[in-house]
Homo-oligomer: A and B are copies of this chain.
Amino acid sequence: MNIPSPLEVWLIEDNATFRRTIARVIESNFRCPEGFSRCEDAIECLAKTGARPDVILLDVALPGMNGIDGIPLLRQAAPETRIIILTVFEDDDKIFRAICAGAAGYLLKTASPEEIVRAIRDVLDGGAPMNGRIARRLLEMFSRFNRPHKDYHLTIREREILELMVEGRIKKEIASRLTLSVHTVDTHLRNIYAKLEVHTRTGAVAKALKEKLI
């Protein structure tokens, strides 16, 4: 493997010592031409030079704009570039916001050089490298979305009609689509209202979506 890899990795990290250490690690497997201590500098460089790195390793605590707020801007400037967070923080809020902002991976600075290189390969391979504890946290956050799935005892038919309502169909359309008379649709609607305890179709649609009944 002496062929120089065409893959380019950037590093945004304000601690110069740590940055150089990581850069050396990366250089053994990828090109790592650019190192920045500030998010803004990297964004400007993307805009001016038109350079498009394959991966950016991004710190969270940075002078000026923090890494997480920088993610959307970096992604806007270079949509194809995968961003891996590399930080000491592992609190739920930072993880959540980073992932929501579009980070493709989340590593801790305790990661070994091998782990970092593996993560870069992984992310280029369509994966989402992250520290084990981070992954666990993410899953727990997910399961918190777990809806108690309150059951309103809607029938199959009622659910079908609710779905079409959510699509914005009017009664006549629903009737023809299900090969029913509008009167039947009407009756179903009334039963749905009663079961969901609402009085309008907007209320029914709102409740259906909020409680993920459909």
Contact = CB atoms under 8 A, between A and B. Distances in A.
A127 B122 contact: no
Nearest to A168: B203
B127 A133 contact: yes
Interface residues on A, range: 35 or more
A113 interface: no
A133 B127 CA distance: 5
Nearest to A200: B168
Given A128-B138, A168-B206, A143 B198 contact: no
A182 to B, nearest CB: 15
A146 interface: yes
Contact of A146 (B101, B132, B202): B101
A210 B132 CA distance: 31
Given A128-B135, A128-B136, A143 B202 contact: no
Interface string A122-149: 1001111110110110110111011010
Nearest to A146: B100
Interface of A: 72, 96, 99-104, 122, 125-130, 132-133, 135-136, 138-139, 141-143, 145-146, 148, 165-170, 198-207, 209-210
